[in-house]
């Protein structure tokens, strides 16, 4: 599987997290960890709470109880811009690129908090994603779905993050492009980025991740290494159709 060596050092630690929207409980008693250099995948159907975890970690949702620690520091209920500044970046579901703005502008938005060295970062991003370099003056609205996903990932890299959250990257993309995206994620991981990924494409996600958590209705049902999960009979039945 060509995975990166991981360390035992925890980069993200979520402890007994609970979040509600009004009267609806979105997350109940969620605990998970991501070690430095790991790809960890969240598996679950629509509405299982994957996006809620991502957005809560990023500081968009109000936490009812529980704690979130990033690089050893408590970031529970800190505003999103502070958390992004501290080295975490989200690649949102549905890409979240600004379609009326140019590719360059979208990339620079990723570097909003630290424009120093953005020229070099941009060169690095364009060397990794040559297609974006070709289209750097086009508005993002003219890009294809796969190109937008690359732009969203490249934008995350512009912020020089320690950790990247990637929410449902494969949604709405052709299988061939999905493979490309997963390859990119593995490549990034080997360069040292820790990644928390959420996916419905369970087989492919587990193939590239180190560990995984299975979610249902806001709770974590199961966790384990990718191999354990791939061999788990319930998961095979529920998600892999075998």
Partner 1 sequence: MEIFIAQVINGLSLGSIYVLLVTGFNLLLLVAMIIHFSFPVVVVFSMYMAWIVLGLTGNNIFLGVAAGISSAILFNIITAPMFQHIMKKRGEVDINSTMVLSMGLGMIITDFLSHSINSGFPIAFPDNLTGRAAGPFIQFGLISMSRGAFLALTVGIVFVTGLFWLLYKTKQGRAFRAIAEDPNGAKLVGLPILKTGLQSYALTGFLGGSTAILMAILLGSASPGLGDQLGHKVLAVSIIAGLGNLKGGLIVGLSLGILEALVQGYWTGTWSNAIAFVIMLIAILVKPKGIFGMKL
The answer to whether residue 99 forms part of the interface with partner 1 (CB under 8 A) is: yes
Q: Interface residues for partner 1 in 148-187 (CB under 8 A)?
A: 155, 159
Separation CA 99–CA 16 (nearest Å): 37
Q: Determine which residue in the list 68, 84, 184, 195 makes contact with partner 1, applying CB under 8 A.
A: 84
The gap from C-alpha 236 to its chain's centroid, in whole angstroms, comes to: 24
Q: Which is nearer to partner 1, 99 or 187 (CB)?
A: 99
The residue among 74, 77, 140 whose CA lies nearest residue 107 is 140
Q: Examine residue 110 and tell whether it contacts partner 1 (CB under 8 A).
A: yes
First to last CA, the chain: 21
- Which residue of 96, 133, 172, 224 would you call a contact of partner 1, by CB under 8 A? 96
Q: Are 180 and 193 in contact (CB under 8 A)?
A: no
**Residue 90 interacting with partner 1 (CB under 8 A):** yes
Minimum distance, C-beta of residue 197 to partner 1, in the bound complex (Å): 16
Contact call for residues 63 and 50 (beta carbons, < 8 A) = no
Binding-site member from 70, 89, 126, 193 for partner 1 (CB under 8 A): 89
Q: Is 115 in the site for partner 1 (CB under 8 A)?
A: yes
Question: How many residues of this chain bind partner 1 (CB under 8 A)?
Answer: 27
- 3-class SS at 98? coil
Question: Does 13 help bind partner 1 (rule: CB under 8 A)?
Answer: no
Rounded to whole angstroms, the Cα distance separating 116 from 198 reads 31
Give yes or no for residue 101 binding partner 1 (CB under 8 A): yes
Dist CA 168 CA 229 (whole Å): 19
Three-state DSSP at 6 gives: coil
**Shortest distance, position 79 Cβ to partner 1, whole Å:** 7
For position 51 contacting partner 1 by CB under 8 A, the verdict is: no
Choose which of 31, 71, 78, 108 interacts with partner 1 (CB under 8 A): 108
Residues in the chain: 242
Whose Cβ is closer to partner 1: residue 96's or residue 133's? 96
């Amino acid at each position: 599987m060509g995975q990166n060596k991981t360390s035992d050092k925890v980069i993200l630690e979520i402890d007994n997290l609970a979040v509600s929207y009004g009267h609806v409980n979105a997350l109940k008693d969620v605990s998970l960890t991501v070690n430095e250099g790991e790809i960890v995948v969240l598996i679950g159907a629509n509405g299982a709470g994957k996006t809620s975890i991502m957005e809560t970690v990023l500081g968009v949702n109000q936490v009812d109880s529980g704690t979130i620690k990033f690089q050893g520091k408590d970031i529970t209920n800190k505003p999103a811009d502070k958390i992004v500044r501290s080295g975490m970046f989200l690649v949102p579901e549905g890409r979240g690129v600004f379609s009326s703005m140019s590719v360059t502008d979208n990339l620079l938005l990723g570097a909003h908090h630290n424009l120093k060295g953005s020229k070099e970062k941009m060169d690095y991003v364009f060397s990794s994603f040559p297609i974006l370099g070709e289209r750097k003056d086009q508005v993002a609205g003219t890009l294809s779905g796969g190109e937008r996903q690359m732009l969203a990932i490249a934008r995350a890299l512009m912020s020089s993050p320690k950790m990247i959250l990637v929410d449902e990257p494969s949604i709405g993309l052709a299988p061939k492009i999905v493979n490309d995206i997963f390859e990119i994620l593995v490549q990034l991981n080997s360069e040292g980025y820790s990644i928390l990924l959420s996916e419905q494409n369970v087989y492919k996600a587990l193939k590239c991740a180190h560990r995984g958590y299975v979610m249902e209705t806001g709770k974590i049902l199961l966790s384990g290494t990718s191999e354990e999960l791939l061999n788990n009979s319930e998961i095979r039945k529920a998600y892999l159709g075998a």
